[in-house]
Amino acid sequence: MDNVWKDIARKIHKLHQQKEILPLHEPSFIGNEKAYVMDCIEAGWVSSVGKYVDRFEEKLAEYTGVERAIAVMNGTAALHVALKLVGVKPADEVLVPSLTFVATANAVTYCGAEPHFVDVSRETLGMDPYKLDAHLQEISFMKGQNCVNKVTGNIIRAVVPMHTFGHSVDMDPLIDVCSRYNITVVEDAAESLGSFYKGKHTGNFGKVAALSFNGNKIITTGGGGAILTNDYDLADYAKHITTTAKLPHAWDYVHDDIGYNYRMPNINAALGCAQLEQIDEYLHQKRILTKKYEQIFREYPGIKLFKENNDSHSNYWLQAILLDQERYDFSKVLKELHEEKIMARPIWKPLHLLQPFADCQKSDLSITIQLQKEIINLPSSPYLGGDNSGQA
């Protein structure tokens, strides 16, 4: 096995011979980033108002096809506000995948609600609508317009499908299930800017959606996120409460709601505007990288590169391989890759196994448990697919 992974490591390093260490995902600054940020500094508008915030929101809405985008300080803040916008209240339950980054569940708890963990599909790595349907048939009943958990008596208010590594959840059957149970869909699109489901950009399928622009995402604002919605009233309310719910006035401080200091600073939005101008190039490089990884792994039995399915056009944010557990020792593979300066990582620990969420409601999570033992993410920086990279 050692020779196999040394050989694989050599081929991965050949993708970019100028890098001794290959991190999981680095940002790329190839456009107007410096010019726009310097413009902010020279104008003095670096805080939470300014022309770049407005421009970033407009361009983001245009790119994703939604009516409105509201820029905020990070993806977790975006998801927190998104859940509040759809009426998630204390003691409610929110259906989330156990196989996701912890922010998905943390945002639920910020609302005083409880995560209710459900399983994912091997075909998409995202929430499985058919297992969700079976689970709801077993554990819930309708009381008026509300879906109620038979065990806890709590209302199941919302569902948060997360588009894992940029691969879209199978949204049509999920929306059908949620419609029958009157459960509101809030998309966690943190990883899926530039991803499409049946020709429509992710973030257009729920009542509201959340994006992330962390330093390791498809585009970055340093730290940042956005709320997407096609509902103008929700958008206006989101913009209001993310700016401390302050009523417009030349000098007086009147706040008419519980607000949050969540707005994205202008200097971060300036970075985002420049990054968004380059997104097509980043996505092009990602797809080239997918082909290069596919070429590397096709000759090694027991290693499968995860690919988009027929209904999805993925941004391939993070490349993922699935290991045959009978052929390869998962922990040893990670250790050997790191020894070869390839900063691979396992998928997240399933959230139901973390101490803060140990007592939360959950469905059968057998696929989640299996995938945790199989998935490894590989270096996925855009430059690895670029013209300056070597051939494997």
- What is the average pLDDT score of the chain? 95
Mean pLDDT of 58-81: 98
The domain 33-277 is placed in CATH, from the list 3.40.50.510, 3.40.50.720, 3.30.565.10, 3.40.640.10, at 3.40.640.10
Asked if 176 and 206 count as a contact pair (C-beta separation under 8 A), the reply is no
Mean pLDDT of 195-208: 98
DSSP state of 9: H
Mean pLDDT of 240-250: 95
| 149's tokens | 């958990």
Q: Which tens digit of pLDDT belongs to each residue from 277-305? A: 999 999 999 999 999 999 999 999 999 99
Per-residue pLDDT, 371? 98
Question: 38-47, 79-88, 243-252, 369-378: which has the minimum mean pLDDT?
Answer: 38-47
DSSP state of 300: S
Mean pLDDT of 358-366: 98
DSSP state of 332: H
Centre a 10 Å sphere on the Cβ of residue 366 and count the other Cβ atoms it contains. Answer: 10
Q: Which tens digit of pLDDT belongs to each residue from 101-120? A: 999 999 999 999 999 999 99
Backbone phi, psi, residue 95, to 5°? -80, 120
Band of residue 390 on the pLDDT scale cut at 50, 70, 90:
very low
**β-pair type (225-229, 303-305):** unpaired
What is the CATH number that goes with domain 2-27+279-385? 3.90.1150.10
Mean pLDDT of 312-327: 97
DSSP state of 150: T
Backbone phi, psi, residue 212, to 5°? -125, 145
Mean pLDDT of 205-230: 97
Mean pLDDT of 249-253: 93
* Side chain identity, residue 82: A
Domain locations along the chain:
2-27+279-385, 33-277
**β-pair type (184-188, 196-197):** unpaired
Per-residue pLDDT, 3? 83
Q: Which tens digit of pLDDT belongs to each residue from 336-355? A: 999 999 999 999 999 999 99
Q: Which H helix or E strand runs over 96?
A: strand 93-97
Asked if 262 and 107 count as a contact pair (C-beta separation under 8 A), the reply is no
Is the pLDDT confidence value at 392 over 80? no
Is the pLDDT confidence value at 391 over 70? no
Mean pLDDT of 222-238: 97
> What does the buried/exposed string (b/e) look like for 87-122 if buried means 16 or more CB atoms within 10 Å of the residue's CB?
ebeeebbbbbbbbbbebbbbbbebbebbbbbbbbbe
